[in-house]
């Protein structure tokens, strides 16, 4: 069973007055393969009431986090995971539901996993790396800009040195050889070539 998150403001506002919007620790009889009861206070959608979804059916929220990875989290907060693909998150929800059955709710807004990750370890590593790069991006940007500035300075110095060398060589040719010959070798001790 898949449930889409409601987006109508009046209906959501009326339901939020009846039930708190934070997920509470609720001990339950069903247990998934990797699920263990954890405490949390994250903002997640409200579980549909018993007329829509029985309390005995486990519900998993599936949505994207700020890094764009898929998050699957059990509504009661017993387990959750980070995934690269939506189908992986859905498969996790099916496997950790009671006897392979359960409901999933696709969440439209960004949700973050507030439990230990029982999903893809690679996605967790990529997310951590992304966070580190974002935090250090100004430092890296400044470092790259400083390297580019030093490279331009070095390039200017080399260009000036080469231009000065050419001017000196031309001056030597004009003074010593009176413009009749041109030095064609890098070694100044060789005989000049006629122009």
What DSSP state is assigned to residue 47? P
Mean pLDDT value across residues 153-162: 91
Span 20-32, pLDDT tens digits: 433 433 434 444 4
Residues 60 and 73: beta-carbon distance below 8 Å: yes
Better-scored residue on pLDDT, 120 or 98 = 120
Better-scored residue on pLDDT, 86 or 97 = 86
What is the largest distance, in Å, between two alpha-carbon atoms of the chain?
Answer: 106
Span 138-153, pLDDT tens digits: 887 788 889 988 998 9
Confidence of residue 192 (pLDDT cuts 50, 70, 90): low
User: What pLDDT is stored for residue 46 in this prediction?
Assistant: 80
What Å distances lie between residue 182 and 36, 165, 169, 189, CA to CA?
A: 87, 15, 10, 13
Confidence of residue 50 (pLDDT cuts 50, 70, 90): confident
**φ, ψ of residue 182 in degrees (nearest 5):** -130, 135
User: What pLDDT is stored for residue 131 in this prediction?
Assistant: 84
Confidence of residue 52 (pLDDT cuts 50, 70, 90): confident
The per-residue pLDDT of the chain, averaged, comes to 75
The answer to whether the pTM exceeds 0.75 is no
β strands within 5-116, DSSP E = 59-64, 70-74, 80-83, 103-106
Mean pLDDT value across residues 28-54: 61
């Amino acid at each position: 069973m898949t449930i889409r998150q409601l987006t109508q403001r009046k209906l959501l506002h009326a339901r939020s007055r009846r039930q708190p919007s934070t997920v509470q620790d609720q001990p339950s009889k069903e247990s998934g393969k990797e699920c263990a009861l954890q405490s949390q206070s994250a903002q997640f959608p409200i579980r549909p009431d018993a007329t829509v979804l029985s309390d005995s059916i486990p519900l998993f929220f599936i949505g994207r986090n700020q890094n764009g990875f898929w998050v699957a989290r059990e509504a009661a907060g017993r387990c959750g995971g980070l995934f690269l693909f939506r189908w992986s998150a859905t498969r996790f929800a099916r496997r950790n539901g009671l006897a392979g059955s359960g409901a999933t709710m696709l969440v439209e807004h960004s949700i973050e996993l507030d439990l230990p990750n029982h999903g893809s370890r690679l996605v967790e590593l990529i997310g951590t790396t992304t966070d580190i790069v974002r935090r250090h991006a100004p430092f890296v940007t400044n470092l790259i800009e400083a390297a580019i500035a030093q490279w331009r300075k070095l390039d200017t110095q080399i260009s000036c040195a080469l231009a000065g060398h050419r001017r000196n060589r031309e001056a030597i040719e004009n003074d010593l050889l009176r413009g009749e010959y041109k030095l064609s070798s890098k070694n100044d001790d060789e005989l000049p070539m006629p122009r």
